[in-house]
Amino acid sequence: MVEVTKKGKNTVRLEVEIPPAEVQAKAAEVYAELARTVKVPGFRKGKTPRRILKRSYADQVLRTVVDELLPLAFERAAAELELDVVSSPRYHVASASEEGPIAFAAEVAVFPEITLPDYSKFVIKRDRRSISDEDVARALEDLRQVNARLEPVEGRGSLDGDLVVLKFLEEDPPEGFSQPTVGVWARVREEGDSFGAQVLGKAVGDTFALAIEYPADYPSRKHAGKKVQAPVEVMEVKKRVPPELGDEFAKDLGEGTLADLRAHVKGRLEARAEEMSYVNAYGRLVEDVTAHADVPLDDWFVERFLTAGEDEPAPKGDKDRAERTAAARRELSRYFVIRELARREDVAVTAEEVRDAMAARTSRAGAPPERPAAAYERLLNEKLAAKLIPRAGASEGGKADAS
């Protein structure tokens, strides 16, 4: 038996009853497992009668029965009602016994009833940036730096961009380091690398304590959130020596002359600029549609999304918290708008497409692995962009057509 009631903007409450036969079967299963694992004086393991086990374990058995049956019953009820569930349920058990039935309620967030503007009247904006000689020169310089060779230097400390090779002085390298040596690029600004500034100015033979900070979500609980000092010695300092910009460099990269290389680089930059104009146009369209859409979301659902992964709740009246809550609501609204657009445009991503995309990413040298959720999100946006954004056309607009 299932009854459903709308409780909020995107919250429903399900009243569910698990029939006695299902409850009794699960209880018998739990008692049978208990008899196999629990030793009761006077009985051989596996031979303890259920009536004896009930004296000490009735409450434990009932909790196990409830914990195992509630999620299954909820999933059946949600499927029966064809609910598009977007959160884990919050359960409240009304009554429960080994004989059954078990009656419970589950409150859960569902896909909101979104009202979209008529986005067919929106003008798509494409900012097609022209590529200048300065853009080509910067790209060529980047190629020189990428193809630079490393030469040892002595008699000075490391400068910005030098490679500093460190040797750990303790017998075992610190957690996260598999080798006794590690190379660190010296950086004036850390730019996300906590080691870069520490090795700046260090010379061969210098010893110092390398500060290592492990993030709070580090896989090893023993090290998560900890800071350690690892004694190290500078073994080498190497400077980058980029190749001369000329025909020989162009030939090394597979081009006939420097002029050919310049033309190739410019063509690549133009193709990238065109692609970015397409991606940016899609992003602006989604933002514009979201801004004009009505996406009803309950406060508790936004709050749960905001606090996911937080150790402690923020104090009431926290201004920063209010801003982050508003940002979370905007992010959720955008998420649901994209999926509503996909529904209306009949755009879908299959599990096979996700697997193929992840395999393709993994096969590329140096590419980090991609999570299934990230691959799905990327493919969905790519397909939706292909449906909504013309590859050629107007290059002005970008907001709802005022006319």
Name the pTM for this structure: 0.67
Q: What are phi and psi of 266, to 5 degrees?
A: -65, -40
pLDDT along the chain (403 residues), means of 10: 90 96 94 85 78 89 95 95 93 94 96 94 82 95 92 92 93 88 84 81 95 84 87 95 94 95 96 90 94 95 82 61 91 95 94 88 69 90 90 49 35
Spatial distance between the Cα atoms of 191 and 183, rounded to a whole number of angstroms? 16
Query: Could you report how far apart the first and last alpha carbons of the chain are, in Å?
Result: 52
Instruction: Read off φ and ψ for residue 378, nearest 5 degrees.
Output: -65, -45
* Cβ neighbours around 388 below 10 Å, total: 19
Strand order in the sheet with 2-6: 2-6, 11-18, 102-109, 90-95
Closest CA to 281 of 394, 118, 401: 394
Could you tell me the domains of the chain?
Answer: 2-109 (3.30.70.1050), 149-241 (3.10.50.40), 257-388 (1.10.3120)
Residue 398's pLDDT is what?
43
Farthest-apart Cα atoms in the chain, separation? 93
Axis crossing angle, helix 20-37 with helix 50-80, rounded to the nearest 10: 130
Give the model's pLDDT for residue 8. 93
Q: How far is CA 265 from CA 130, 140, 147, 233, 298, in A?
A: 14, 8, 15, 41, 51
